[in-house]
């Protein structure tokens, strides 16, 4: 059992890193519209502010500001991940770039069904929890302490595609809130 503690405060801004289970996948950018819809539906039901967000092929970073009367970011991330996973699974998983690990049983004539492939790709605990195996179970969060901390984490979101060698300038990455910030004058190219 984890000894991690999460502050039980009201609202505030929080920086997140959320990763796919299969590092090296491009599922998030390949299915960006599914992700956008999952976020849109979740925000409509449980509002939160998006201060910064960048989606990379296999992980994403975000800074959210949560309402004082409903600071549960875990529920929001759970809803986003569940909605995304459900649609990816309905689309057929492998046809959208999610490839579960195949069983190691190489018997002649053995042809695992899709259900057997999915079970083999997930641990018994993920199967019991009906986890699709698309996401890492946990995410990393950091509660913003002050304005300098906030600015540093927003900048981290914007510059992360450059750090990973995906583009030369933050504004060249299409899956980033940097474009919104440029339109409203919060980010200078």
> Could you tell me which residues come within 8 angstroms of residue 86 by beta carbon, excluding any fewer than 6 positions away?
132
**In Å, how far are 57, 104, 167, 184 from 30, measured between CA atoms?**
8, 28, 17, 27
Residue 107 in 3-state DSSP? coil
- Other CB atoms within a 10 A radius of the CB of residue 180 amount to 13
Alpha-carbon distance of 74 to 5, in angstroms, equals: 13
Alpha-carbon distance of 59 to 57, in angstroms, equals: 6
Across the strands, what pairs with 19? 59
Active site members: 175
- Evaluate the CA torsion angle 98, 102, 108, 112 in order and state its sign: negative
Put the strands of the sheet holding 59-66 in their side by side order: 49-55, 59-66, 12-19, 140-143
Look up residue 6 and give its two tokens: 């999460």
């Amino acid at each position: 059992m984890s000894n991690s503690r999460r502050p039980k405060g009201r609202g505030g801004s929080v920086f997140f890193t959320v990763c796919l289970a299969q590092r090296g996948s491009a599922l998030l950018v390949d299915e960006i519209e599914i992700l956008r819809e999952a976020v849109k539906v979740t925000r409509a039901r449980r509002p939160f502010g998006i201060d910064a967000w960048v989606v990379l092929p296999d992980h994403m970073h975000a800074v959210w500001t949560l309402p004082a009367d409903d600071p549960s970011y875990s529920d929001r991330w759970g809803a986003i991940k569940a909605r995304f996973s459900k649609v990816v699974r309905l689309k057929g998983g492998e046809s959208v770039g999610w490839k579960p690990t195949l069983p190691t049983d190489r018997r002649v004539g053995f042809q695992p069904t899709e259900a057997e492939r999915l079970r083999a790709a997930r641990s018994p605990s993920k199967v019991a929890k009906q986890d699709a195996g698309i996401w890492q179970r946990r995410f990393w969060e950091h509660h913003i302490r002050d304005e300098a901390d906030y600015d540093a984490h927003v900048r981290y979101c914007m510059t992360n595609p450059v750090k990973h060698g995906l583009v030369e300038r933050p504004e060249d990455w299409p899956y980033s809130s940097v474009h919104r910030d440029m339109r409203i004058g919060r980010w200078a190219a």
